[in-house]
Amino acid sequence: MNRVDEVFLQSFGGHVDTPAYDKDISDTDLNINQRVAQFLMLLQQLDESEGGLEALPDAELSEIISGALGVCGFVDPNEAREVVAMVLEALEKRDAVLEAASSGSSPWARN
Inter-residue contact 44 to 68 (CB < 8 Å): no
Looking at per-residue pLDDT, the higher value among 9 and 94 belongs to 94
pLDDT at 21 over 70: no
Q: What is the tally of structural domains in the chain?
A: 1
Residues in Cβ contact with 4 at an 8 Å cutoff, skipping those fewer than 6 apart: 94, 97, 98
- Is 22 a domain residue? yes
Query: Which pLDDT band holds residue 28 (cuts at 50, 70, 90)?
Result: low
User: What pLDDT was estimated at residue 53?
Assistant: 86
Nearest Cα residue to 79 out of 94, 69, 64: 69
Residues in Cβ contact with 6 at an 8 Å cutoff, skipping those fewer than 6 apart: none
- Is 108 a domain residue? no
Q: What distance in Å separates the CA atoms of residue 49 and residue 16, rounded to the nearest whole number? A: 31
Length of the chain: 111
Domain interval for residue 93 = 3-103
pLDDT > 70: what percent of the chain? 67
Looking at per-residue pLDDT, the higher value among 11 and 83 belongs to 83
- Is 111 a domain residue? no
**Angle at Cα 74 formed by Cα 33 and Cα 55, nearest 5°?**
95
**pTM of whole model > 0.85?**
no
- Is 93 a domain residue? yes
pLDDT digits 0-9 by tens, 42-81: 888 888 888 888 888 999 999 999 999 999 999 899 999 9
Q: What distance in Å separates the CA atoms of residue 46 and residue 51, rounded to the nearest whole number? A: 9
- Is 109 a domain residue? no
What mean pLDDT, rounded, does the chain reach? 76
- Is 64 a domain residue? yes
